Chain A
């Protein structure tokens, strides 16, 4: 069975990494979710599994039965699940916000910060905003306009 568990963990991490290596932001997030599950599984597994008895002290007893499951990795995994979910949810929110503003899901095209100028080149070393046309630059210009517009809409309404 160990081989099967190991295979499941390897599938999580391998597929997760493969997805994360993509430049498509949604796939990166899905990969992150898989990788998180793999890590949780690994924590759970390294505490040795095999017992089906939950780590709960029966009424009347003072101590846990010796054949109960290991409580420590469960506690750690529980924390990890919740944190992992929080991270994924935040990443999804970030993705949606980014897509609305930048109109792309390709990580290569999310260059709004770079278009403000490279800190690695001397001023005048290379035109910082010129070169390739960037829709991010345009959307960055558009955003204040859009906000103004929405204000107008609000006041008109």
Chain B
């Protein structure tokens, strides 16, 4: 079976299974778990093949745009696919149980989102075409929005959902821009093609912009500084979603992209150091915020942000070990962090108490959960013989071997100290320390919910004890994929007495110390409000509020209901572009003064027009103004008459006469003198605007006369008017034959205008009786 087919079947299953779950509880839940489980088995079977060479399958999607839905399964994306489908299986199992007491529809809806997310996520990591990757990337953002805001009746959930959406989708736009630039620079959207031939991309002047844009997209998705704030807020999601999206899989998409592109991007010398800087800053800030957090899930969320920072830093570090460390850390972190979230969910679900310091003494009530938490926490703390220990050893080795030794190791030690402390605290507080006050436990642990953390915890122990299980089959191909060349991987537990072991021991010792004094440190840091001001999402709200305020302000300013402003804006813009066009073209050119030939009658006619216009513009009397407009109109008719357009002249005479008659007849009901509606200042402004506009038109007319005339169309009409349309009056033939549809439209417009005017005036006839009847009634 091909990977594409498996993905499509997975999608179909993801859509259908939740509907079954809505109807038949047991069978439906089994189906919901079966879909990711089967996918997991499928991807497991690909291990051997991918170990040899990446699987690439091409499917045409938009052939005309050169977009193919190519599937690319290399070691690194296979690692992600296994994590997504494997943890997805446990999440589905866990969620079915977590939502047990909810209505079937509510539960099915949640499972629907989760499975749909899984499909989108699998498609993202296996997409070879960057455009396809972007589409699926945004789908995960959208599903994250739906899952964070799942408790849609809660204001906090809706706010957090919107925030995560705006941040990740905003970053997604940046990513899209970067992808488009890649297409411009390298003429391909295919990751495989870029890997084979990175030269056009690397040598392009757009290379820097591309890296920055794609980095911004990755940083928003993976909650790196300065976008770290959305992830902790996203904990408003139900816990299964938090465990799945916001710790194990989706938030790793950013680092997935960076790691995938790293072999190419690292050709820019500043790529690595930038990632180290941002990753390091994220680690420190997240560690600090984790110490300041009270809620169980918030502590875990900040430790997730710190881990994402660690991965970002590892991608930025140079050397072979860094690639192995990245892969190892992603694997270990997904295993233990998902398990910890599962356990947090069980505890919160059973007690209804989200705050860590209110929990206690739960080990006797929920022993399995306590055991699973211990397993996961040991791995998180990096204690042997868990897989977390191996990954931490590699982390330190990568830091020591890199060119950033001192600062990287310092950050690593500080942050891992906090990680150890967190691991100790999340085990001791809820389970082994007595509760400070009476804790009401609603129910014990459900089997469906404990399976996930126990399995993950045991796997963490298993991989630690027998790293050979994953070293060559999974870690080696994945690390080779992001390193760019095949690597020899030695992923084993005991490295001997090395500097890394010393650092590990130091970190554990310091971590235990911090855990012992957790409360005083927590309280002292929490009191410092300055951290709130600098580190939380104030910046986001500042941008959001000001964007909305700007929109409101500009709407009220521009759409202020004053017709004069609208007209002025339109006139200004039109004038601006006309002036620009005149200047940007060949510049003002002047025609010969003697063409067309001098004609004394024309001078008189034009004088009539100009006088008429100014009379209309300047008078305060309605009748005078109408006469002025009429004069100018008759002037135009005379222009037509004197220039070989008798038809036009006739039409213009009739229209102008009608205009004067109708307007006079109708407007005589209105006040005969104009009331002033503009201040003198406004009038001066309008006069200058009109003058500039008129001068621009003047220049444009001269320019028109000066450019060469192309008589092709009139000559064509002149030749075929009689022979083909059998008419001697060419103007009329053009109207009723060559441009018949145009004329038809014109007639329709006139008819509609007449209908509209008739309807309006008929209505006003009804209203006209009002003044007659009012005094009668009043008296």
Contact = CB atoms under 8 A, between A and B. Distances in A.
Interface of A: 1-24, 26-28, 30, 33-34, 37-38, 40-42, 44-59, 61-64, 68-72, 74-75, 77-79, 81-90, 92-94, 96-97, 99-101, 105-108, 111, 114, 120, 142-143, 146-147, 149-150, 153
A68 B644 contact: yes
B753 to A, nearest CB: 4
A75 B622 CA distance: 33
Given A96-B667, A147-B766, 17 more contacts: A2-B705, A10-B694, A15-B614, A20-B567, A21-B678, A24-B674, A33-B659, A53-B644, A68-B644, A71-B731, A72-B717, A74-B731, A81-B655, A89-B753, A93-B757, A100-B767, A107-B564
A6 B666 CA distance: 33
Contact of B760 (A94, A105, A143): A94
A112 B130 CA distance: 53
A70 B711 contact: yes
Contacts of A51: 643-644
Given A14-B691, A90-B753, A55 B655 contact: no
Contacts of A107: 562-564, 677
Interface string B597-615: 1110011001001100110
B704 A30 contact: no
B743 A79 contact: yes
Interface size class of B (residues with CB under 8 A): 35 or more
A7 B24 CA distance: 83
Nearest to B685: A21
B671 interface: yes
Contact of A18 (B648, B690, B718): B690
A83 B697 contact: no
B776 to A, nearest CB: 9
B646 A54 contact: yes
Given A2-B705, A9-B698, A96 B552 contact: no
Chain A binding surface, main DSSP class: helix
B52 interface: no
Contacts of A9: 697-698, 701
A27 B625 contact: yes
Nearest to B646: A54
Nearest to A20: B567
A14 to B, nearest CB: 3
Given A30-B626, A47-B714, A15 B564 contact: no
Interface string B635-654: 11001101111111001100
Interface string B692-708: 01110110011011000
24 contacts: A2-B596, A5-B606, A6-B701, A9-B698, A15-B694, A16-B613, A27-B625, A30-B629, A37-B632, A48-B705, A54-B646, A55-B718, A55-B730, A55-B731, A78-B731, A89-B753, A92-B757, A97-B760, A100-B764, A106-B675, A114-B561, A120-B552, A150-B767, A150-B773
Contact of B639 (A27, A28, A44, A92): A44
B757 A89 contact: yes
B562 A146 contact: no
Contacts of B606: 4-5, 7-8
A38 B636 CA distance: 9
B694 A2 contact: no
A100 B754 CA distance: 19
Given A49-B643, A81-B651, A149 B756 contact: no
B643 A21 contact: no
A82 B651 contact: yes
Interface string B556-599: 10010111100110010000000000000000000111111111
A3 to B, nearest CB: 7
Contacts of B655: 81-82, 84-85
Contact of B596 (A27, A49, A94): A49
A120 B555 contact: yes
B436 interface: no
B209 interface: no
A96 B760 contact: yes
Given A50-B596, A59-B728, A34 B662 contact: no
A34 B632 contact: yes
A57 B617 contact: no
